[in-house]
Structure 1
Amino acid sequence: MNFKKIFTGPLFWILTAVLLLLVVVPLLFTSSGAGQRVDTNVGMELIEDGQVTEARIDDGDSRVDLTLAEEFELDGENLGDAVHFHFSQARAETVVEAIAEADLEGYTDEPEQSNWLLSMLGFMIPFLLIALLFIWLITRMSGGGSRVMQFGKSKAKQFDKDMPAVTFADVAGAEEAVEELHEIKEFLSEPEKFQRLGAKIPKGVLLYGPPGTGKTLLAKAVAGEAGGSFYSISGSDFVEMFVGVGASRVRDLFKQAKENAPAIIFVDEIDAVGRQRGAGVGGGNDEREQTLNQLLVEMDGFDANTNIIVIAATNRPDVLDPALLRPGRFDRQIPVEAPDFAGRKAILEVHAKGKPMVPDLDIEQIARKTPGFTGADLANVLNEAALLTARSNADLIDDRAIDEAIDRVMAGPQKRTRLMKDHERRVTAYHEGGHALVAAALNYSAPVTKITILPRGRALGYTMVIPEDDKYSTTRNELLDQIAYAMGGRVAEEIVFHDPSTGAANDIQKATDTARKMVTEYGMSAKVGSVKLGSGDSNPFLGKEMATGKEYSEELAAVVDSEVRSIIDEAHDEAYWALTENRDILDTLAEELLRVETLNAKEVAEIFKDVKKRPKREIWESSPDRPILIDESSQRAETVNGRSGQD
């Protein structure tokens, strides 16, 4: 049992305060009586029998204190020479008359003078206990006993030289960002080098990109390289429930940085405090906006030679206030994107250090299998592979562990305990086979690298299609092939079983989303044209969304729906053609999946070696009235809509 945790927890102090209220306060308010208490009748008999030498009446407490001539025994118990008894108001006159008739020398009926100090303490203690309990609770909320009532103090953590240092050598796959930040380090260490040419030190650097791409790691590397004052704080640490706390913390943070200049301030997840002003419901004068206003003032209020640089990280640059992004505040905005092939290879090499691997494990091949993976994903792949290797009591990480780790990161853990009926397994085999065969029969889709019907995550099976090279843009034909590939599973169920299942729900959703983006965002519909429909404002502000009206007519919305439906139907027809023309290959693939459950790239390629390819699509025209230029490399012109493609 952790006694230290019990005695420092809130329950212990609350119980202590309650006990003080119940025990100490009544004792302070209650004056002690003289000797033992006896019944009223016994006390009256003592007075009438002449055994009392002194008596005192306390009218406020309806009590009589008696001093006896000798020790008194009652029922065999020695009560001493002092006793007291209480009386009711109905017998008050009788008690006074009895004492008066006894003609006692020490009799007095004057009220006892109470101790004013005890009375004051008795009055103040309950309020003091409540105040102390309130202060203790506030102290816990503000970060510990050493920070009582210091709401306005910054919560930033100053970089300690004894902390494990992360340097630029530990960062891979973000060479451009490292180069920019390396220059920031030079600004702080050698400011004269730039000032002699009239250059001003940038006041802010914004790192933005998807989650897991290494923005915080880059900031840690700057801290390890700078060697000077480095303050790290989260955007949410500025804002509290008390008005004005965030702005006060911003002032305190920059005050500390100025006192220890040159310094770097790193604000992680700055979108928590830097969101656009005036966009929420009810206007904008709230605590978060006051904090943002103070941050804007501090960033633009530096002297030219203050040598303080603010580095911030966010994965939502679109929601940040424009005043925060202007030159003079965040002068540099550095994208930190998912790494390309070379970057993935370098990241894998960094994370592979210290992990025992089989000699023939190919890091380059792992990098090719993981397009779109971020640095965090790749680190997770190698960590999962190490865990799987340890679980199997092996000593070296091999390809099997790496493949399973990639599948875990992409689709979740395998559900080995899920038992599927034979019919469901057959439906899943044809469904995944339909995806793979359509991808193989089309001309602009990526090659199939893996097919499995083992349940994993929320999927009953999946087909892995990975491009051979990194791609940074997608053509219209490639998008159409993606939609046809997504429809391949549903079409296979229709052809083979004539009774499609709900397993294609996610495929239909993806296909519909892609088709709608082609029409409304990418300008890939001849009827709609190259028009961006919708504001594209993804700011999650309810007030802003409520103030925005519809941006296109109902007639155009009907055209959009018709075009989306047309694209989906054409993709359905292409998938149907690919599967019916290669039905024997589909059956072979499904039977092989039912037998071995998982096929790798080589096994899939062997089955697909005789696949009939879909003829290439005709040239797409955004408008039939525009001329088509001849592709000189092909030395021919396409014919579309019965018209020559020549100028």
Structure 2
Amino acid sequence: MKQLKGGNNFTIWIAIVGVLIIVYNMLGDINLTAKKVIFSEFLDQIDSGSVKSVTIRGDLVEGKYTEGGSFVTLIPRYYPNLIEKMKVKEVAIDIAPLETSFGNLVALLSSWFPVILLIGVWVYFMKNMQSGGGKALGFGRSKARLVSDPNKVVTFADVAGVDEAKEELVEIVDFLKNPGKFQKLGGKIPRGCLLVGSPGTGKTLLARAVAGEAGVPFFTISGSDFVEMFVGVGASRVRDMFAQAKKQSPCIVFIDEIDAVGRHRGAGLGGGNDEREQTLNQLLVEMDGFSDNEGVIVMAATNRPDVLDPALLRPGRFDRQIVVPIPDIKGREQILAVHAKAVPIAPDVDIRVLARGTPGFSGADLKNLINEAALMAARRDRNMVSMQEMEFAKDKVMMGAERKSLVMTDDDKKLTAYHEAGHALVALHLPDSDPLHKATIIPRGRALGVTMRLPESDRLSMTKAKLKADLAVAMGGRVAEEIVFSLDKITTGAGNDIKVATQIARKMVTQWGLSDSIGPVLVGDDKEEVFLGHSIGRSNHISNELATKIDEEIKKIIDEAYNTAKAILTKHRDQLEDIAQGLLEYEVLSGQEMQDLINGKPTIRKEDENKKAANKPSVSIPKAGSEPKPVKPKLKESSGIQEA
């Protein structure tokens, strides 16, 4: 349809240009500035020899004077001897086809042509502006887009990791397929379904899956598409959207980011009479008013349900609020398996290991991980995506790309190695810490080095012992710098560690009730509303004495973590040296390699064994009086860890 419409517009413009060219040519052939003379005067001019040439078109004669200038006159059709008289006076005679009998009409039209052309163009554009939803006079039309491409149908098989949310939506699918099953018992399907979850968890994908499973029309629109500068435009678009939906009933209307139009009323400027609130009022009426919207199910998505107006969330409008959470380890495994179908996977890829190593990843993050791995395999001219590319992609998504162009001095490398070794060694000696995954001194993102720990399974809550262990691990880098390089040589590298540790300690005291002196009391509320730069109403004010006590308790918790890290690193100074030297040599060490190092069991790499065997002479005859030198065992690099 769009191509046809574009072709018609092109044809119209070609026709307009053609008419302009024809009129221009017609006007070019007619001299509208010529002097009009009567016939008797024309005869006298011929006798006097002042006529140079004439063009005869039927009764009309156009001529030119010998001294310059032009004239027109009318002659009798059968006037005798006129041609002979002009020939005697040597007047150039031209006979033109008889096509100017309407010369006066053409002259009249030509004088009015600019005005007629302007009126025609104005009518043409006004008609177009009124016919399209995106045109100037069609801004009151809905911008909802009907998704009807049969090649892009999404079903529940394409959605993984949100089994509970899918179960909630199966009932809506059953109603759309067989409404009589529910209506015969007096049941009514929910008019609205609100999908709540963090960005990238698959809210839009779930809505499309419902439409794909039910096989009904699916309208999609963003909350920001309703709001315009003029009051009333958004309300008009809401009315038009529901009018279109009723014609396609049963159908699904999906409003993405509904918080753009559904925020609390009365909190903005204009006394509650602004465009956004008028749009919200119309949406409330359309969803549950006097009009009957049977068969139109409104689905919406937001990651900020706390800002929505209560009238929008009440039963009869958005009856159900379905939480779409960040997937757990089982859900991540299912999501990775779905996205892995689109790329050739090597046999060494372990989806379970990838799922365990990506806590907190949303569905969009996992999809990006698979895509990054496929891009890396393509750059390496591989035919399949191996575990090595998967690990590379995971590190890139979690920590940022390797900064290979960054040139680090030997002193910077040494300091970074001891810093990361401090984190790693404290984690290895604290049983409440998460298992150590890897440590690297290859710069990634904004960090010069990274130490990664991965939990055995997803944590739904954290114990006080686990939090204290995390604080001690965070302090490990700073303490290692002090022990190895002295207090005067410590750097700003621990700035982010200190920031994270302070945030954890503050939450332990003010939100989680894990302080013995403060107790289980919520101090302060992070759900403050900010309006024009000022906090409104919800924060709990505290006394100066309590604020001082909170600061002292936070410092006490951090000092305790610092002392724990210092005791471990001081006691195991030799192990700190072993891990740091391993990082300086290989830049990347796995958790198992570091565990082997502190146990005095260096792991021999297969690559090093092969290299050693290739360089070993077939017959070795030691010289007299010489002793064989001990060979220092090298560390093994685990699969999936990238070298610098």
Q: Same fold by TM (over 0.5)?
A: yes
Aligned: 1:545 with 2:538: no
| Counterparts of 1:53 and 1:537, CA distance in 2 | 104
Q: CA deviation at 1:521?
A: 1.4
Q: How far 1:456 moved relative to its partner? A: 1.0
Query: Structure 1 residue 459: deviation in Å?
Result: 1.2
- Is 1:386 aligned to 2:396, yes or no? no
CA drift of 1:550 comes to: 6.3
Q: 1:595 aligned to 2:585? A: yes
Alpha-carbon separation, structure 2, partners of 1:423 and 1:441: 27
Give the distance between the partners of 2:322 and 2:194, measured in 1 at CA.
6
Match of 2:397 among 381, 384, 409: 409
Cα 1:248–1:282 shift into 2, 3 Å: closer
* Mapped pair 1:574 → 2:569: no
User: Quick check: 1:435–1:486 contact (8 Å CA) kept in 2?
Assistant: yes
SS in 1 for 2:452: strand
Given residue 287 of structure 1, which amino acid in structure 2 is its aligned partner? E
Match among 501, 504, 507 for residue 514 of structure 1: 504
Write the deviation string for residues 212-258 of structure 1: whole angstroms up to 9, x where unpaired.
Answer: 11111111111211111221111111122332111111111111222
1:584 aligns with 2:574: yes
Could you tell me the TM-score, scaled by structure 1's length?
Answer: 0.74
Instruction: Name the counterpart of 1:156.
Output: 144
Partners of 1:408 and 1:301 in 2: CA distance = 51
Assess, with a 3 A threshold, how the Cα gap between structure 1 residues 510 and 595 changes in structure 2: closer, same or farther.
Answer: same
C-alpha deviations, 1:14-55, integer Å up to 9, x for none? xx99xx9xxx9xx9xxx96448xxxxxxxxxxxxxxx9999x
2:286: which partner in 1? 298
How does 1:204-353 map onto structure 2 within 5 Å? 204-281=192-269, 283-301=271-289, 306-353=294-341
Q: Structure 1: how far apart are the matches of 2:181 and 2:376?
A: 52
- After superposition, the C-alpha distances for 1:619-645 in whole angstroms (9 at most, x for unaligned) are xxxxxxxxxxxxxxxxxxxxxxxxxxx
Given that 1:159 and 1:223 are in contact with CA atoms closer than 8 Å, whether structure 2 keeps it comes out as no
Is 2:476–2:565's contact at 8 Å kept on the other side of the alignment?
yes
Opposite residue 543 of structure 2, the aligned amino acid is S
Residue aligning to 2:550: 560
Q: Is the 8 A contact 1:161 1:227 kept in 2?
A: no
What CA distance in whole angstroms lies between the structure 2 residues aligned with 1:236 and 1:496?
56
Distance in structure 1 (CA, Å) of the matches to 2:348 and 2:383: 15
8 Å contact kept, 1:440–1:608:
no
CA distance in 1, matches of 2:51, 2:293: 94
Question: Offset of 1:123 from its aligned partner?
Answer: 7.2
Counterpart amino acid of residue 465 in structure 1? R
Query: 3-state SS of the aligned residue for 2:152?
Result: coil
d(CA) in 1 for partners of 2:575, 2:327? 37
Paired residues for 1:356-367 under 5 Å: 356-367=344-355
Q: CA deviation at 1:517?
A: 1.4
| 1:201 lines up with 2:195 in the alignment | no
CA deviations over 1:469-492 (Å, ceiling 9, x no partner): 111111222122222222221221
Map 1:48-197 onto structure 2 (within 5 A).
69-71=50-52, 80=65, 143=134, 147=135, 149-160=137-148, 162-197=150-185
- Is residue 2:415 matched to residue 1:427? yes
- Aligned runs of 1:459-478 on 2, under 5 Å? 459-478=447-466
Going from structure 1 to structure 2, the CA distance change for 1:595 and 1:196 (only over 3 Å counts) comes to same
Q: How far did residue 539 of structure 1 move?
A: 4.8
Report the AA paired with residue 558 of structure 1: T
Q: Aligned partners of 2:122, 2:426: CA distance in 1, in Å?
A: 73
SS of equivalent to 2:423 = helix
Stretches of structure 2 that go unaligned for 5 or more consecutive residues are 1-6, 36-41, 54-62, 71-106, 602-644
Q: 1:437 aligns with which of 405, 425, 434?
A: 425
1:224 aligned counterpart, secondary structure: helix
Q: CA deviation at 1:199?
A: 2.3
| Kept in 1: contact 2:429–2:568 (CA 8 A) | yes
Structure 2 distance, partners of 1:405, 1:235, is: 34
Aligned length: 534
Letter in 1 for 2:385: I
3-state DSSP of counterpart to 1:313: strand
SS of the residue corresponding to residue 265 of structure 1 reads: strand
Q: Report what 2:495 is aligned to.
A: 505
Unaligned runs of 5+ in 1: 1-6, 36-50, 55-66, 73-77, 86-114, 612-647
1:98 aligns with none
Deviation at 1:117, TM superposition (A): 7.9
Q: What's the offset of the Cα at 1:281? A: 4.7
Alpha carbons of 1:116 and 1:608: their partners in 2 closer, same or farther (altered >3 Å)?
Answer: farther
Q: Over aligned residue pairs, what C-alpha RMSD do you find?
A: 3.8
Deviations 1:77-120 (A, max 9, x none): x97457579xxxxxxxxxxxxxxxxxxxxxxxxxxxxx998787
SS of corresponding position for 1:311: strand
Does the 8 Å CA contact 1:444/1:481 hold for their aligned counterparts?
yes
Aligned to 2:96: none
Q: CA deviation at 1:161?
A: 5.2
Structure 2 residue matching 1:414: 3-state secondary structure: coil
2:436 pairs, out of 448, 452, 458, with 448
Secondary structure of the 2:138 match is coil
Distance 1:196 1:123, change over 3 A: closer
| In structure 2, distance between residues paired with 1:82 and 1:529 | 115
278-287 vs 151-160, greater mean Cα deviation: 278-287
- Decide whether aligned partners of structure 1 residues 436 and 412 sit closer, same or farther in structure 2, where only a CA change above 3 A counts: same
Query: What is the TM-score when the length of structure 2 is the normalising length?
Result: 0.74
Shift of 1:541: 4.3
Q: For 1:536, which of 523, 526, 542 is the aligned residue?
A: 526
TM-aligned CA deviation for residue 383 of structure 1: 1.4
Query: What is the alpha-carbon distance in structure 2 between the residues aligned to residue 458 and residue 68 of structure 1?
Result: 98
Structure 1 pair 487–69 and aligned structure 2 pair: CA distance change class (3 A): same
Q: Which moved more, 1:346-355 or 1:119-128?
A: 119-128
- 2:513/2:522 contact within 8 Å kept: yes
In structure 1, C-alpha distance between the alignment counterparts of 2:509 and 2:379, rounded to whole Å: 49
Q: Quote how far apart the aligned CAs of 1:284 are.
A: 3.1
Q: CA deviation at 1:168?
A: 0.4
- 1:264-312 Cα offsets, whole Å, 9 max, x none, are 1111111111122222355432111111111111111276781221111
Distance 2:499 2:51 in 1: 102
Which position in structure 1 is the counterpart of 2:361?
373
Contact kept in structure 2, 1:280 and 1:543, CA below 8 Å: no
Q: Which moved further from structure 2: 246-255 or 541-550?
A: 541-550
| C-alpha distance in 1 between matches for 2:69 and 2:518 | 103
> Whole-Å Cα distance in 1 between the matches of residues 127 and 547 of structure 2?
60
- Taking the aligned partners of 1:350 and 1:122, their CA distance within structure 2 comes to 65
Partner of 1:63: none
Query: CA offset at residue 179 of structure 1?
Result: 0.8
Q: Deviations over 1:350-376 (max 9, x none)?
A: 111142222232211111111111111
CA separation of 1:453 and 1:174: change in aligned 2, threshold 3 A: same
SS in 2 for 1:149: helix
- Structure 2: distance between partners of 1:296 and 1:573: 59
